[in-house]
Homo-oligomer: A and B are copies of this chain.
Amino acid sequence: MNVVEQLRLFMEPRSVALIGVPRATNTGVNTLEFMLEYGYDGRIYPVNPSADSILGHKAYPAVQEIPNPVDLAVISVPRQLVPEVVQGCVEKGIKAVVVVSQGFADADQQGKALQERVVAIAKAGGARVIGPNSMGTINAFKHFSCAFVHLDVPKQVFPVGFAAQSGLVINLGLLGSQYGDYRFLGKAFDLGNTCDVDFADVLEYFEADPQVEVIALHMEGIQDGRRFLEVARRVTRKKPVVVIKAGRTEQGGKAVASHTGAMVGQDEVYQAAFDEAGIIRVKDLEELEDIVKVFFTAPLPKGNRVGMVTLVGGIGVMAVDACADLGLEMPELSPQVKNRLGPSFPDWFPPANPVDVWPASYARPFREVNRDALEALMEDPGIDSLVAITWVPRPPRFEIFDSSEDMLAVAQKYPQKPLICFCYGPAKKVGILQIESSRQIAAYPSIERALRAVAALWRYSRYRQREPGQEPGLPVNQARGQAVVSVASRLGRPRLDAEGFDLLAAYGIESPPSRIAGGEEEAAAAARAVGFPVVLKVLSPQITHKSDAGGVRLGIGAEDELRRAYREMIETIAKKAPGAEVEGVLVQRMASGGQEVILGIKRDSQFGPVAIFGAGGLYAEVMKDVAFGICPLTRERAWEMVRSTRVYHMLKGLREAPKDLEAIVEALLRLSQLAVDLPQVKELDINPMLALEKGCVAVDVRVVIG
Contacts and interface: CB of A to CB of B under 8 A. Distances in A.
Interface stretch (A3-11, A310-318, A517-525): A310-318
Contacts of A323: 251
Interface stretch (A479-487, A488-496, A502-510, A617-625): A617-625
A448 interface: yes
A337 interface: no
Nearest to A349: B107
A102 B425 contact: no
A682 interface: no
B108 A324 contact: no
A413 interface: no
B249 A426 contact: no
Interface string A442-481: 0001111100000000000000000000000000000000
Contact of A286 (B220, B325, B446, B619): B446
Contacts of A285: 318, 446-447
A291 to B, nearest CB: 14
A321 B316 CA distance: 32
Contacts of A400: 27-28
Contacts of A557: 557
- In the A-B complex, list the 3 residue pairs whose CB atoms are closest, starting with the nearest: A166-B314, A152-B426, A249-B324
Contacts of A447: 284-285
A381 B254 CA distance: 24
Contacts of A220: 314, 317
A515 interface: no
Contacts of A425: 152, 171-172
A320 B252 contact: yes
Given A318-B246, A623-B623, A646-B623, A110 B398 contact: no
Nearest to A314: B166
A248 interface: yes
B249 A446 contact: no
B178 A178 contact: yes
A261 to B, nearest CB: 11
A316 B102 CA distance: 16
Nearest to A183: B426
A141 interface: no
Given A284-B446, A623-B623, 11 more contacts: A152-B426, A167-B312, A172-B312, A175-B445, A178-B445, A218-B314, A220-B314, A220-B317, A246-B321, A249-B321, A249-B324
A498 to B, nearest CB: 22
Nearest to A651: B622
22 contacts: A103-B348, A150-B398, A165-B314, A166-B313, A167-B314, A168-B311, A168-B314, A175-B445, A178-B178, A179-B179, A218-B314, A250-B324, A251-B323, A252-B320, A252-B324, A256-B317, A259-B313, A259-B314, A284-B446, A285-B447, A621-B654, A622-B647
Interface centre among A400, A623, A650 (most CB of B within 10 A): A623
A639 interface: no
Nearest to A103: B348
Interface in A281-321: 283-286, 311-318, 320-321
A78 to B, nearest CB: 10
B401 A655 contact: no
